[in-house]
């Protein structure tokens, strides 16, 4: 029989286990999300053996998913530095997020519509969750890459989340194909951009003026409140989180002159450092419980169904093909490891569980979703392991005209 002590022991053990997984992941290059999913599957197996069932899993997945998105985007944005030199990188990342998302969703739509026989609108709605890169998995996984590679992935995955959520909210509207809906869509983007800068400026000012030691969680509460209200009205509220994090971490570029004297920029550095620490800790905690719960909710038997393997593999192929075309032919950038860093995860699950009842098809096998999430994470794992491999001059490196060793594949 469950009591408070058993619950506390279980929760504490899971947090400790997740911390150990992070350490293990650094050495064996297995994404900690895979280990967390396996833990959830193991807990489900044990629960079945002892006739213990956890209720309300979809509700908690939705709850932790929303909070996790906020914390992970805030964590990533607080590490981003905006300078003139980095404007091209930001532009390339945004372009990558938009074009790759569009191409990936388009290809996945073809698979769902022509292979599985889904109706057009349903195929569009189902394609979007699987077309969005999960910043919850991508950002923590690239921490050891070169700074320019890491920043590209942080920007790309964050904007992929934001744009993906915006497009999904647009796609599920009843009149999504009307001219009025397109007008409202772009107006909403304009509104949220204006609101983001104004709200972020007020939040930065508030952080500077609050003298109590509990201000970080007050800011968290305000951000969650704004995000939740924006979600009700189908506004891309994650953009506000991104803008706030960037403005706070780059306050010296936004706060100048007399305003800088009033706000005491030297004080802001300590405030930013404290918020970074609490955000990272909170994101770690939310990510832990989300992926364990998702592993618990997974049906492992569904992963071996022929339909799941064939359809899931086709979707994985669409994801890699879209990235390959953009990175090689349009962006003309390194393929390794950027090609393989396209995991699906938290945002995919959040959007999938947000599909309205009128779009849900009982014939769709949820095992396809599980397959895509697991395989895309494993591909990322192999790509990162391959990146760290030491190549000899004959195997992968060539001597440039200047006599320096060049690396055309982008190996680091």
Query: Residue 263: which pLDDT band, with cuts at 50, 70 and 90?
Result: low
**pLDDT at residue 63 greater than cutoff 80:** yes
Within 13 A of 393's CA, how many CA atoms are on the CB side? 6
- List the one residue out of 383, 285, 298 whose CA is nearest residue 41: 298
b/e map 320-333, b = 16+ CB within 10 Å: bebbeebbeeebeb
**pLDDT at residue 400 greater than cutoff 70:** no
Which pLDDT value is given to residue 82?
77
- Which is more confidently placed, 389 or 180? 180
Which pLDDT value is given to residue 262?
66
Distances (CA, A) of 48 to 41, 128, 296: 11, 33, 11
Q: Hey, how many other C-beta atoms are within 10 angstroms of the C-beta on 335?
A: 17
Cis peptide upstream of residue 120 (ω within 30 degrees of 0): no
Condensed to tens digits (0 to 9), the pLDDT of residues 116-166 reads: 999 999 999 999 999 999 888 888 888 778 887 888 888 888 888 888 888
**pLDDT at residue 370 greater than cutoff 80:** yes
Q: Counting beta carbons within 10 angstroms of the beta carbon of residue 113, is it exposed (0 to 12), middle (13 to 18) or buried (19 or more)?
A: middle
**pLDDT at residue 407 greater than cutoff 50:** no
- Which is more confidently placed, 400 or 17? 17
394 backbone dihedrals φ, ψ, rounded to 5°:
-75, -35
Query: Residue 397: which pLDDT band, with cuts at 50, 70 and 90?
Result: very low
Query: Which of the listed ranges 287-296, 328-337, 394-403 does the model predict with the highest average pLDDT?
Result: 287-296
Condensed to tens digits (0 to 9), the pLDDT of residues 208-224 reads: 777 777 778 888 888 89
Average pLDDT of the residues in 313-318:
97
- Which is more confidently placed, 112 or 1? 112
User: DSSP letter at 404?
Assistant: P
**pLDDT at residue 387 greater than cutoff 80:** no
- Which is more confidently placed, 1 or 79? 79
Angle CA 302–287–268, to nearest 5: 160
**pLDDT at residue 27 greater than cutoff 50:** yes
Average pLDDT of the residues in 386-398:
45
- Which is more confidently placed, 163 or 387? 163
Q: Which residues contact 63 (CB under 8 A, 6 or more apart)?
A: none
Which pLDDT value is given to residue 265?
64
Query: Residue 314: which pLDDT band, with cuts at 50, 70 and 90?
Result: very high
- Which is more confidently placed, 317 or 198? 317
Task: Report the C-alpha gap between 36 and 34 in whole angstroms.
Answer: 5
Average pLDDT of the residues in 345-367:
90
Q: Note the pTM of the prediction, 2 decimals.
A: 0.83
Task: Report the C-alpha gap between 361 and 180 in whole angstroms.
Answer: 27
Which pLDDT value is given to residue 188?
75
**pLDDT at residue 1 greater than cutoff 80:** no
Which pLDDT value is given to residue 260?
64
Which pLDDT value is given to residue 175?
67
DSSP string, 363-401: TS-THHHHHHHHHHHHHHHHHHHHHTSPPPTTTT-EE-T
Q: Indicate the helix (H) or strand (E) that contains 138.
A: helix 135-141
Query: Residue 403: which pLDDT band, with cuts at 50, 70 and 90?
Result: very low
Which pLDDT value is given to residue 375?
94
Average pLDDT of the residues in 99-106:
95
């Amino acid at each position: 029989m469950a009591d408070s002590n058993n619950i506390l022991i279980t929760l504490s053990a899971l947090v400790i286990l997740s911390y150990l997984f992070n350490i293990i992941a650094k050495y064996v290059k297995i994404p900690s999300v895979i280990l967390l999913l396996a833990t959830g599957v193991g807990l489900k197996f044990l629960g079945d053996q002892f006739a213990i069932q956890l209720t309300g899993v979809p509700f908690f997945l939705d709850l932790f998913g929303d909070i996790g998105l906020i914390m992970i985007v805030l964590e990533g944005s607080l590490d981003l530095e905006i300078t003139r030199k980095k404007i091209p990188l930001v532009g390339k990342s945004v372009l990558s997020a938009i074009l790759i998302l569009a191409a990936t969703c388009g290809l996945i739509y073809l698979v769902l519509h022509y292979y599985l026989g889904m109706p057009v609108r349903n195929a569009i709605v189902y394609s979007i969750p699987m077309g969005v890169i999960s910043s919850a998995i991508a950002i923590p996984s690239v921490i050891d890459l070169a700074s320019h590679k890491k920043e590209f992935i942080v920007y790309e995955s964050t904007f992929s989340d934001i744009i993906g959520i915006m497009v999904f909210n647009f796609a599920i509207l009843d009149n999504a194909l009307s001219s009025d809906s397109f007008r409202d869509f772009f107006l909403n983007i304009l509104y949220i951009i204006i609101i983001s800068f104004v709200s972020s400026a007020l939040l930065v000012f508030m952080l500077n003026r609050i003298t109590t030691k509990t201000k970080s969680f007050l800011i968290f509460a305000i951000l969650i409140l704004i995000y939740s209200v924006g979600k009700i009205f189908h506004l891309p509220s994650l953009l506000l989180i991104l803008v706030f994090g960037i403005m706070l971490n780059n306050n010296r570029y936004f706060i100048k002159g007399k305003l800088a004297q009033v706000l005491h920029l030297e004080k802001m550095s300590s405030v930013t450092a404290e918020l970074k620490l609490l955000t990272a800790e909170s994101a770690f905690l939310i990510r832990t419980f989300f992926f364990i719960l998702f592993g618990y909710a997974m049906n492992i038997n569904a992963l071996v169904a022929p339909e799941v393997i064939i359809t899931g593999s086709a979707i994985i192929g669409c994801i890699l093909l879209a990235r390959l075309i953009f990175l090689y032919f349009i962006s003309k950038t390194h393929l390794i490891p950027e090609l393989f860093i396209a995991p699906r995860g938290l945002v995919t699950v959040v959007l999938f569980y947000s599909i309205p009842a009128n779009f849900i098809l009982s014939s769709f096998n949820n095992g396809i979703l599980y397959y895509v999430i697991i395989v895309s994470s494993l591909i990322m794992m192999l790509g990162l392991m391959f990146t760290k491999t030491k190549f000899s001059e004959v195997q992968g490196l060539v001597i440039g005209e200047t006599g320096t060793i060049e690396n055309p594949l982008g190996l680091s």
